Amino acid sequence: MSAFSGRLVVASHNLGKVREIGALLAPLGVEAVSAGELGLPEPEETEPTFVGNAILKARAAAEASGLPALADDSGLEVLALGGDPGVLSARWAGEGRDFGLAMRKVWDALQARRATDFSARFVCVLALAQPGGDVQSFEGEARGSIVWPPRGDKGFGYDPIFLPTGLDRTFGEMSHDEKLPLTHRAHAFEKLLAALT
């Protein structure tokens, strides 16, 4: 597991995301430090895909810190909205990162289209970059559907309107420990760990 020896930068300033990634890394005995803690700037996400943005963020953090860096780009894709909000998931929340507003925009867009199919998925791409070296990427997903009104005050982002397939509680109604193994991020991590072991 040489790619994970010592310290690793989690290339994110999103505290909820950093917490989830930190929990997934914990069993490996890795010292994870966030880009925010190191004072690294957030690069502008200019790529049109999750994989493109994850690689961009991982490379920037690895080069700025001189440490291996793990970046995640993730978001919500709603089938009836043609995959929106997709890579723009955080931007739908505006400058203030108001996900109450973002969830309302998703629901309003579905109503405007008179949607009857509320299928959705969370997508996560993890990119692991070595300073001056190669980058590997891994994709995971969690399938489910959109519900309204939002349910639960746990989790973050769009969790309160996402009902995982086959379950009766939204991600927003689950504890951190209940939700984590079901997430798109956990599924991407499974692929990353399989490739490194």
Residues marked as catalytic:
73
Q: What is the DSSP letter of 12?
A: -
Report the amino acid identity of residue 135.
V
| Residue 127 C-beta-side C-alpha neighbours within 13 Å | 26
Question: Which of 138, 145, 139, 140 lies closest to 171 in space, CA to CA?
Answer: 145
Question: Which of 18, 20, 53, 43 lies closest to 33 in space, CA to CA?
Answer: 18
Full 3-state SS string of 64-120: HHCCCEEEEEEEEEEHHHCCCEHHHCCHHHCCCCCHHHHHHHHHHHHHHCCCCCCEE
Report the alpha-carbon distance of residue 131 to residue 81 in Å, rounded: 38
Contact by Cβ (8 Å): 120, 144: yes
Phi-psi region of 163 (alpha: psi -120 to 50; beta: other; left: phi over 0): beta
Report the alpha-carbon distance of residue 118 to residue 106 in Å, rounded: 10
